């Protein structure tokens, strides 16, 4: 089997470390592996599959000889390093939003549109975490009939804001119990025992940048340019794994039983739907694994002929980011 020279850009962050973990778990065919990060992390050590790797400086020269670069950095650095990655002849699988809506950059969820990955010009974009989880959940229904509309509400864990989000929730929970001060650095308001109905900046239409990703990215991934999505994104005091409520309409009427059967056999999904035994997806059950759990499938009472409603949960650090990126890389090896 051919082996590949792989670099993880942003290897010391939460998503970068998860990418390394997933590469090892999935036994990715690696020849050499570079861990790249900013100057403050250079020289630190990262464990990979029992080996101790030394973090190197992320610079243009670091990509020479690489075949695949997994990006776990923000838009600024993704744009900065993309030309050097392409010039080195590597394919850049980028987790930022910098290139997602560029016409010449495929936006890929391997369970949905794997063929798009092979049409790359040196960059493949990893979609937004909530977009990945929601679309994996509904793709089986889309295969039965094109989806016309989606109304979604996301309940996004604090880890979506990085490791600092986890620390802030934990510290606030401890402060609440001990009567201490609620220190806010990551989120604009106290997140412990609270909900914050804003993720991203507000646009002129009143929707946040995070909310518009579901429609804009969904259209591209599903190849449904007329898809209409209404989304509300909420930060919730959950450590890990995003939850999403979805109401959708299809061109033809899909029965609840038909939808359940399709989702049960869909790639990347696990049907967890038994009201009698109180079986439904929850963040605690879906953390630190790669399947999207789907349940609470029922008719939409506002559109009983063409509407369905469901609830799904998925680990946004893994399937919503790191695992999806590694799966894209795997497509390139095949």
* 242 belongs to the catalytic site: yes
Interaxial angle between packed helices 256-264 and 129-144, expressed in degrees from 0 to 180 and rounded to the nearest 10: 120
How many CB atoms within 10 Å of residue 308? 24
How many distinct helices (H) and strands (E) make up the chain? Answer: 8, 14
**DSSP for 69-118?**
EEE-S-HHHHHHHHHHHHHTT-EEEE-SSSSTT-TTS-B--TTT-GGGGG
Helix/strand/coil percentages in the chain, nearest 5: 35, 25, 40
Tokens standing for 212? 């518009």
Catalytic residue among 35, 231, 233, 242: 242
Q: For 31, which DSSP code?
A: E
**Best CA proximity match to 102, nearest among 87, 118, 84, 121:** 121
* DSSP assigned state of 223: T
The radius of gyration of the chain from alpha carbons, rounded to an integer in Å, stands at 20
Confirm whether 129 is a catalytic residue. yes
Active site residues: 129, 242
């Amino acid at each position: 089997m051919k082996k590949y020279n792989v670099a993880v850009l942003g290897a010391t962050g939460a998503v970068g470390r998860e990418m390394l973990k997933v590469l090892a778990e999935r036994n990715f065919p690696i020849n050499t592996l570079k861990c790249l990060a900013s100057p403050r992390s250079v020289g630190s050590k990262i464990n990979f599959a029992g080996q101790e790797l030394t973090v190197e400086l992320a610079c243009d020269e670091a990509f020479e000889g690489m075949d695949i670069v997994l990006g776990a950095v923000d838009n600024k650095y993704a744009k900065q390093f993309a030309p050097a990655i392409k010039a080195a002849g590597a394919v850049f699988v980028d987790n930022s939003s910098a290139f997602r809506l560029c016409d010449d950059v495929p936006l890929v969820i391997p369970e949905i549109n794997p063929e798009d990955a092979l049409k790359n010009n040196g960059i493949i974009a990893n979609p937004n975490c909530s977009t990945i989880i929601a679309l994996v959940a509904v793709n089986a229904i889309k295969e039965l009939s094109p989806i016309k509309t989606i109304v979604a509400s996301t309940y996004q864990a604090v880890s979506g804001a990085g490791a600092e989000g986890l620390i802030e929730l934990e510290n606030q929970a401890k402060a609440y119990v001990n009567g201490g001060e609620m220190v806010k650095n990551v989120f604009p308001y106290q997140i412990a025992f609270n909900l914050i109905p804003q993720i991203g900046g507000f646009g002129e239409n009143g929707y946040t940048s995070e909310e518009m990703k579901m429609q804009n990215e969904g259209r591209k991934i599903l190849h449904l340019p007329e898809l209409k999505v209404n989304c509300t994104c909420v930060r919730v005091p959950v450590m890990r794994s995003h939850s999403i409520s979805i109401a959708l309409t299809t061109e033809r009427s899909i029965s609840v039983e038909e939808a359940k059967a399709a989702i049960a056999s869909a790639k990347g999904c696990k049907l967890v739907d038994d009201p009698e035994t109180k079986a439904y997806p929850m963040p605690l059950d879906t953390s630190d694994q790669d399947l999207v759990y789907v349940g609470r499938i029922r008719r939409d009472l506002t559109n009983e002929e063409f509407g369905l409603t469901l609830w799904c949960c998925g680990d946004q650090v893994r399937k919503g980011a790191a695992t999806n990126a590694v799966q894209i890389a795997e497509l390139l090896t095949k």
